[in-house]
Amino acid sequence: MRSKLMTVLTVIGAVTVLVLAANTVALATTGKAILAGKINTSSTLTSIVRTTPGTGLQVKTKSTANAPFAVNGTGKVTNLNADKIDGKDSTVLGTRALVWSYAGSTASASTRTFSTTTMPAGSYLLNYEVYLTSGAGRVDCYLQRNSDGIYAAQGTADSNNGGTSLTGAGLITLTAPGVVRLVCSTQTAILWSVDQSQPLRITAVPITGLALKGSPAVS
């Protein structure tokens, strides 16, 4: 009798374990629980709401080089606030123009050089605007990278009674931090003017992902 009782109790215990195990699996598959290290599925939205101030969800990986998330959707995530996109800090994203304005000269000169402050290494689309007083004759301006003989945006204009206005644009790549110089020469010594309506300035727009396409044949 005692042996039969032990057998019955053993069977009941085994059935209880199986029932509890089945319930655990059911909780995972119906969205009532999330199991780490398992594939969890749900037919409805899974939401995590923190009822106190602070971070709502924290995900860490063993190495900082590992991606904490993997997604297969390309839809827009509303209100997503990211510090970096494609490895780039948010402060370098978007179009940023660097502008240098120069005061007019109190003494006339036939050649003037205007230098930017030190710029980080990289490629820049540069533009210059120059206005000179009348009587300058022919004006020649160009941009120069540091002092290494790399030139860009050379322009020439002839003076008239109302003064001379000259602009130019070009691409310059700084392989290391450096400056860009605007060098202008005239046939005669003249004054160099600058105000809101008569600018004398250099503008640089940083360019990322520059792709040189070669030199197509001219037809």
Highest averaged pLDDT of the listed ranges 15-19, 82-86, 139-143, 147-151: 139-143
Specify the pLDDT at position 208: 75
Residue % of the chain over a pLDDT of 70: 67
| pLDDT tens-digit readout, 17-65 | 444 444 444 444 455 677 888 888 888 888 888 899 988 888 888 888 8
Q: State mean pLDDT over 111-122.
A: 89
Domains belonging to the chain, first-starting first, are: 1-45 (no CATH), 98-207 (2.60.120.1340)
Q: In the numeric block, which tokens belong to residue 90?
A: 């948010």
Specify the pLDDT at position 202: 92
Place of tokens 């070669």: 214
Confidence of residue 204 (pLDDT cuts 50, 70, 90): very high
Q: Give the predicted TM-score (pTM) of the model.
A: 0.56
3-class DSSP state of 175: coil
Would you mind telling me the total number of residues written for the chain in this entry? 219
Per 3-state DSSP, the chain is made up of helix, strand and coil in percentages (nearest 5) of: 15, 35, 50
Q: How far lies 123's CA from each of 64, 126, 153, 173, in Å?
A: 30, 10, 15, 4
192, β-bridge pairs: 132
Specify the pLDDT at position 203: 93
Burial (Cβ within 10 Å: 0-12, 13-18, ≥19) of residue 184: buried
